[in-house]
Amino acid sequence: MARNKHHEGSGPSQRQLLVGELIRRTLSSVLARGDVHDPELNTMSITVGEVRTSPDLKIATVYVMPLGGAARAEAIDALKRNRGELRRALMKEMTLKYAPDLRFVIDETFDRMDETREMLARAEVRRDLDKDDDAEGSP
Protein backbone atom coordinates (compact mmCIF):
# COMPACT_ATOMS: atom_id res chain seq x y z
CA MET A 1 0.00 0.00 0.00
CA ALA A 2 1.29 3.49 -0.84
CA ARG A 3 2.64 5.49 2.06
CA ASN A 4 0.37 8.52 1.61
CA LYS A 5 -2.84 6.51 1.43
CA HIS A 6 -5.05 6.82 4.50
CA HIS A 7 -7.42 4.21 5.80
CA GLU A 8 -10.95 5.38 6.28
CA GLY A 9 -11.30 6.76 9.79
CA SER A 10 -7.56 7.29 10.26
CA GLY A 11 -8.03 11.01 10.74
CA PRO A 12 -6.85 14.01 8.78
CA SER A 13 -3.37 14.23 7.30
CA GLN A 14 -0.82 16.81 8.47
CA ARG A 15 -1.48 18.74 5.25
CA GLN A 16 -5.22 18.79 5.90
CA LEU A 17 -4.63 20.03 9.44
CA LEU A 18 -2.20 22.71 8.29
CA VAL A 19 -4.40 23.98 5.45
CA GLY A 20 -7.47 23.89 7.72
CA GLU A 21 -5.70 26.03 10.33
CA LEU A 22 -4.45 28.48 7.71
CA ILE A 23 -7.97 28.82 6.30
CA ARG A 24 -9.34 29.32 9.84
CA ARG A 25 -6.87 32.10 10.61
CA THR A 26 -7.37 33.80 7.25
CA LEU A 27 -11.18 33.70 7.44
CA SER A 28 -11.08 34.96 11.04
CA SER A 29 -8.93 37.86 9.92
CA VAL A 30 -11.10 38.68 6.89
CA LEU A 31 -14.26 38.63 9.01
CA ALA A 32 -12.69 40.67 11.82
CA ARG A 33 -11.51 43.36 9.39
CA GLY A 34 -14.91 43.51 7.67
CA ASP A 35 -13.35 42.93 4.24
CA VAL A 36 -16.63 41.58 2.83
CA HIS A 37 -18.95 43.95 0.99
CA ASP A 38 -22.01 42.93 3.00
CA PRO A 39 -23.07 45.37 5.74
CA GLU A 40 -25.08 42.68 7.54
CA LEU A 41 -22.14 40.27 7.72
CA ASN A 42 -19.77 43.07 8.75
CA THR A 43 -21.96 43.94 11.77
CA MET A 44 -21.74 40.36 13.05
CA SER A 45 -18.94 39.14 15.26
CA ILE A 46 -18.31 35.56 14.16
CA THR A 47 -15.81 33.15 15.68
CA VAL A 48 -14.25 30.60 13.33
CA GLY A 49 -13.60 27.70 15.67
CA GLU A 50 -12.29 25.08 13.28
CA VAL A 51 -11.91 24.28 9.60
CA ARG A 52 -11.84 20.69 8.37
CA THR A 53 -10.74 20.00 4.82
CA SER A 54 -11.44 17.06 2.57
CA PRO A 55 -8.44 14.85 1.70
CA ASP A 56 -8.12 16.56 -1.72
CA LEU A 57 -8.40 20.03 -0.03
CA LYS A 58 -11.25 20.99 -2.38
CA ILE A 59 -13.91 21.26 0.34
CA ALA A 60 -13.48 23.15 3.60
CA THR A 61 -16.11 22.79 6.30
CA VAL A 62 -15.96 25.93 8.43
CA TYR A 63 -17.30 25.66 11.99
CA VAL A 64 -18.52 29.07 13.16
CA MET A 65 -20.34 30.65 16.08
CA PRO A 66 -21.73 34.18 16.26
CA LEU A 67 -20.76 36.10 19.39
CA GLY A 68 -23.02 35.07 22.26
CA GLY A 69 -24.48 32.21 20.21
CA ALA A 70 -27.43 34.33 19.02
CA ALA A 71 -28.59 34.76 15.40
CA ARG A 72 -27.04 31.49 14.27
CA ALA A 73 -29.24 31.05 11.21
CA GLU A 74 -28.66 34.65 10.13
CA ALA A 75 -24.89 34.23 10.46
CA ILE A 76 -24.89 31.03 8.36
CA ASP A 77 -27.11 32.70 5.73
CA ALA A 78 -24.81 35.74 5.54
CA LEU A 79 -21.70 33.55 5.23
CA LYS A 80 -23.31 31.41 2.52
CA ARG A 81 -24.44 34.52 0.66
CA ASN A 82 -20.83 35.78 0.63
CA ARG A 83 -19.14 32.42 -0.04
CA GLY A 84 -17.66 33.56 -3.38
CA GLU A 85 -16.17 36.73 -1.95
CA LEU A 86 -14.74 34.81 1.01
CA ARG A 87 -13.16 32.27 -1.37
CA ARG A 88 -11.56 35.11 -3.36
CA ALA A 89 -10.22 36.63 -0.13
CA LEU A 90 -8.71 33.25 0.77
CA MET A 91 -6.99 32.96 -2.61
CA LYS A 92 -5.65 36.49 -2.32
CA GLU A 93 -4.08 35.85 1.10
CA MET A 94 -3.09 32.20 0.77
CA THR A 95 -0.97 30.31 -1.73
CA LEU A 96 -3.31 27.43 -2.53
CA LYS A 97 -3.56 25.96 -6.01
CA TYR A 98 -7.38 25.96 -5.76
CA ALA A 99 -9.74 27.82 -3.47
CA PRO A 100 -11.75 25.22 -1.56
CA ASP A 101 -15.52 25.19 -1.66
CA LEU A 102 -16.56 26.67 1.70
CA ARG A 103 -19.33 25.02 3.68
CA PHE A 104 -20.45 26.81 6.83
CA VAL A 105 -21.93 25.04 9.85
CA ILE A 106 -22.57 26.07 13.43
CA ASP A 107 -19.85 24.98 15.86
CA GLU A 108 -21.66 22.92 18.50
CA THR A 109 -18.54 22.52 20.67
CA PHE A 110 -19.52 25.34 23.02
CA ASP A 111 -23.02 23.90 23.53
CA ARG A 112 -21.58 20.46 24.33
CA MET A 113 -19.14 21.99 26.84
CA ASP A 114 -22.01 23.79 28.58
CA GLU A 115 -24.09 20.60 28.66
CA THR A 116 -21.15 18.68 30.13
CA ARG A 117 -20.59 21.34 32.82
CA GLU A 118 -24.29 21.26 33.72
CA MET A 119 -24.26 17.45 33.91
CA LEU A 120 -21.15 17.41 36.13
CA ALA A 121 -22.75 19.97 38.45
CA ARG A 122 -25.83 17.80 39.11
CA ALA A 123 -25.98 16.42 42.67
CA GLU A 124 -26.28 12.75 41.66
CA VAL A 125 -23.31 12.99 39.32
CA ARG A 126 -21.20 14.78 41.95
CA ARG A 127 -22.12 12.05 44.43
CA ASP A 128 -21.03 9.32 41.99
CA LEU A 129 -17.80 11.13 41.16
CA ASP A 130 -17.06 11.57 44.87
CA LYS A 131 -17.62 7.81 45.38
CA ASP A 132 -15.13 7.08 42.57
CA ASP A 133 -12.58 9.41 44.17
CA ASP A 134 -13.02 7.70 47.54
CA ALA A 135 -12.67 4.23 45.97
CA GLU A 136 -9.45 5.19 44.20
CA GLY A 137 -7.95 6.48 47.45
CA SER A 138 -8.62 3.29 49.45
CA PRO A 139 -6.28 0.27 49.23
DSSP string across 23-57: HHHHHHHHHHHT-SS-HHHHHS-EEEEEEEE-TTS
* Residues 59 and 124 grouped into a single domain: no
Q: 120 φ, ψ to 5°?
A: -70, -20
Q: Helix 72-81 to helix 83-93 angle, to the nearest 10 degrees? A: 70
What is the arithmetic mean of pLDDT over 94-101? Answer: 86
* Residues 13 and 73 grouped into a single domain: yes
pTM: 0.73
Distance, in Å, from the CA atom of 49 to the CA atom of 26, rounded to the nearest integer, reads 12
What is the arithmetic mean of pLDDT over 19-43? Answer: 93
Has residue 16 got a pLDDT over 80? yes
Has residue 2 got a pLDDT over 50? no
Distance, in Å, from the CA atom of 11 to the CA atom of 137, rounded to the nearest integer, reads 37
pLDDT of residue 124: 76
* Residues 74 and 128 grouped into a single domain: no
pLDDT of residue 110: 63
* Residues 12 and 33 grouped into a single domain: yes
- Residue 1 DSSP label: -
Domain span at 18: 1-107
pLDDT of residue 25: 96
The CATH number of whichever domain residue 74 belongs to comes to 3.30.300.20
* Residues 85 and 101 grouped into a single domain: yes
Span 47-97, pLDDT tens digits: 999 999 999 999 999 999 998 878 899 999 999 999 999 999 999 888 778
**What is the pLDDT confidence band of residue 136, given thresholds at 50, 70 and 90?**
low
What is the arithmetic mean of pLDDT over 4-10? Answer: 54
Number of H helices, E strands in the chain: 6, 3
Distance, in Å, from the CA atom of 29 to the CA atom of 47, rounded to the nearest integer, reads 10
